[in-house]
Amino acid sequence: MSVVYDEAQQAIGDAARRALAAQADRQRQLAALEQVGAFDLQFHEIAARQGWLAMALPEAHGGLGLGLIEQGIVAQACGGVIAGTPLLATNAGVAQAIIAGGDAALAGRWLRRLGAGDAKGAVAFAEAEAMLPDTAATQWDGTTLTGSKQGVPAGLVADVALVWASRDGEPVLALADLAGASRTAIDSFDNGRLHADLIFAATPATALAQGEAARALALDLLARMATITAHEQTGGAEALLWIARDYALARKAFGQPIGAFQSVKHRIAELYALVEIARANCIHAASREGQPDFLLAAAAARLSAGEAYDTAARDCVQIHGGFGVTWEGGLHLHMRRARSLAIELGHALFWEDIAVDELVGGVLVGSRA
């Protein structure tokens, strides 16, 4: 199954692109790269004001009652202008976990604030190089967390974190108020993502799920966030496709536009193929929310969008020649974002394994692929 965007959904995309274009500022983005802890407040305010953080929340909690399709449309627009803190995905992930956990008190405390952008959420699953370790070193003892998480996106500003932990070797998904944790900023190659190491020392935390239920919920949340992020990656790749195309038309060498040389035009045509395949996978994944093949669909979206964005960043820079590698030219903003998004929420090898586990497990039966 897939979808064709209806008029309301197209209007959401148009509105998002308009709002983002009004605040686009390359100098501000370049400056943010050189500051640790800098936070693109303008973007965050737009996201909050436009309701982008509340889209998938139930109306009872101040949300818009929409879903992944609409979240994806907005994320794609954000990716196109390299806008966005990780909160687009992480606030959605934390909110979804709280809903799934079914604790009314937690829902009352956090959901409305997360949706309004007054509270910021981080998702701290990874430890060292592992996205979702079998047994997390971070321990939950029934009431508190102890341990550390490295390079958590949005970790620098988050008020609350969803933490992948363990208790007696069994997985636990716990929600921790970060007032009780300490954090260290990471000076990263894409500082706008607000990466930080989080250290928990008897930090009060509530379990949302335990045992196999925790693992299943963690994978479902990863699939949701990966679907949103895949849209963002596709938006970035699509922007680079057209930047490369425009440059290939404008730039002349050897007496003709460089886009007339097959080595250049075929490279751009290949980008088109990667972008369209990623876009189709993203829309498909968003339409499979809650279905048995959702994890596989999210993996396909994630893999193809990551490939599209990384390849577009490489090739677009290459087509620009020397101008592609200058600081002021700013293409490295896309290059950096392509890589940070590729790592956050699990690298390609992590998702390849998920896809293969699903496929070998028999999900493929009946598929034409």
Partner 1 sequence: MTDLDGWRRQARAWLETQLPAFGKAARIGLSEPEDLAFGRRYQRAKFDAGFAGINWSPAFGGRGLTPLHKLIFDQEEARFDLPMGYFGVSLGIAVPVVMHHAPDREWARARVIEALKGETIWCQMFSEPSGGSDLAGLRTRAEPHGAEGSEGGWLINGQKLWTTYAQYADYGVLLARSDPAVAKHKGLTFFWVDMHAPGVTVRPVRLAAGDAHVNEIFFDDMAIPDSQRISAVGAGFATAMATLMIERYSASDPAGHGPPLSRFIETVRDRCINGRPALEDGRVRSAIARAYAMRSGLDAIVTRAMLMMEAGMEPGPEGSLNKLVAVRSRQKLSELAIDLMGHEGLAWDRQGHTKEDWVASWLGAPTLRIAGGADEMLLNTIAERILGLPQDHRPDKGVPFNQIPV
Residue closer to partner 1 by CB (options 12, 303) is: 303
**Min CB(224)–partner 1 separation in Å:** 18
Residue closer to partner 1 by CB (options 6, 328) is: 6
List, in order, residues 6 or more apart from 86 with CB less than 8 Å away.
Answer: 122, 153, 154, 193, 194, 344
**Min CB(256)–partner 1 separation in Å:** 7
CB-CB contact of 231 with 282 (8 Å): yes
CB-CB contact of 214 with 173 (8 Å): yes
Determine which helix (DSSP H) or strand (DSSP E) holds 120, and give its type and residue range: none
**Min CB(71)–partner 1 separation in Å:** 18
Residue closer to partner 1 by CB (options 174, 258) is: 258
In the complex, the residues that contact partner 1 under the rule CB under 8 A are 1-4, 241, 245, 248-249, 256-257, 259-260, 262, 265-266, 268-270, 272-273, 276-281, 283-284, 296-297, 299-300, 303-304, 307, 349, 351-353, 355-356, 359-360, 364-365, 367-369
CB-CB contact of 323 with 341 (8 Å): no
Residue closer to partner 1 by CB (options 6, 168) is: 6
Residue closer to partner 1 by CB (options 96, 304) is: 304
Quick one: which of 146, 31, 143, 163 has its CA closest to 97? 163
Q: Which amino acid is at 151?
A: G
Residue closer to partner 1 by CB (options 169, 366) is: 366
* Angle formed at CA 125 by CA 84 and CA 80, multiple of 5 degrees: 20
**Min CB(308)–partner 1 separation in Å:** 10
Residue closer to partner 1 by CB (options 21, 273) is: 273
What is the total residue count of the chain? Answer: 369
**Min CB(288)–partner 1 separation in Å:** 10
Distance in angstroms (rounded) separating the CA atoms of residues 268 and 87: 32
CB-CB contact of 187 with 202 (8 Å): no
Distance in angstroms (rounded) separating the CA atoms of residues 136 and 163: 10
**Min CB(187)–partner 1 separation in Å:** 32
**Min CB(69)–partner 1 separation in Å:** 13
* Angle formed at CA 309 by CA 304 and CA 311, multiple of 5 degrees: 95
